[in-house]
Copies of this chain bind each other. A is one copy, B any other.
Amino acid sequence: MRDAYHDELESLTDRLVEMTRLVRSAMSRGTTALLDADLQLAESVISQDAEVDRIYNELESSIYELMALQQPVAVDLRTVVTALRMASDLERMGDLAEHIAKIARMRHPDSAIPAELRDTIVEMGAIAENLITKTGSCIASRDIELAKELEEDDDAMDRLHRRLFRVLLSDNWSHGVEAAIDITLAGRYYERYADHAVRVAQDVVYLVTGSRTDDVAAD
């Protein structure tokens, strides 16, 4: 009985890493769909979010069942409670990638991204991909040094987010209100995606060290 139980605890990690793979792929394809107005790619991101949701719902059920039947304590309890939080953040990251794909679909056959913002969105997509890759490694390896790197990448994302607004509000903006709305929302989705990645990494730090370094402060 205890063996099956420990197998189950280990499988939580595998399933979380699997979620990071899916939400990385979703964000990568979502960004390409947005930049290239690729409807088929956008549709694939939108339909495949169901797979992220399915893993999330299964993981959540396993965790509640495990808590009820096995009554984990000490480090095991910390592991399952933290897995629940991480799964919730990863599920949300899947939604955000899907939201980006929906902007691409809504504007197809046009691109929602004007030429002068293309590089910024490319960079935001690259940072998002980098963040979730590190998050996955961080969950798998429990390397807490990676968690620090994630916070720096998140700062880079915030700088790009502010750059978007500077372009939207410059006198040279010639693409009107609809494009500005799309870019405002897309920028928000990338920024939130990065925030959730950082939260997951902070949860790994908590799991390893047993202390929280991520007190919530005004953001």
Q: Does A173 contact B (CB under 8 A)?
A: yes
Q: Which of A71-95 contact B (CB under 8 A)?
A: 71, 73-74, 77-78, 81, 84-85, 88, 91, 95
* Copies of this chain in the oligomer: 2
- A67 and B78 within 8 A (CB): yes
Residues in B whose Cβ lies below 8 Å from that of A184? 180-181, 184-185
Residues in B whose Cβ lies below 8 Å from that of A67? 77-78, 81
- B180 and A181 within 8 A (CB): yes
Per-residue B-contact encoding for A45-56, CB less than 8 Å = 1, 0 else: 010011001001
Residues in B whose Cβ lies below 8 Å from that of A98? 218
In the complex the two chains form, what is the Cα distance from A203 to B85 in whole Å? Answer: 14
With A81-B84, A84-B81 already in contact, the answer to whether A53 and B169 are too (CB < 8 A) is: no
Q: Does A160 contact B (CB under 8 A)?
A: no
- B71 and A77 within 8 A (CB): yes
Closest to A53 in B: B216
Closest to A164 in B: B181
Q: Which of A191-206 contact B (CB under 8 A)?
A: none
Q: Does A1 contact B (CB under 8 A)?
A: no
Residues in B whose Cβ lies below 8 Å from that of A180? 177, 180-181, 184
Q: How far is the CB of A177 from chain B (nearest CB, A)?
A: 5
Q: Which of A159-199 contact B (CB under 8 A)?
A: 165, 168-169, 173, 176-178, 180-181, 184-185, 188
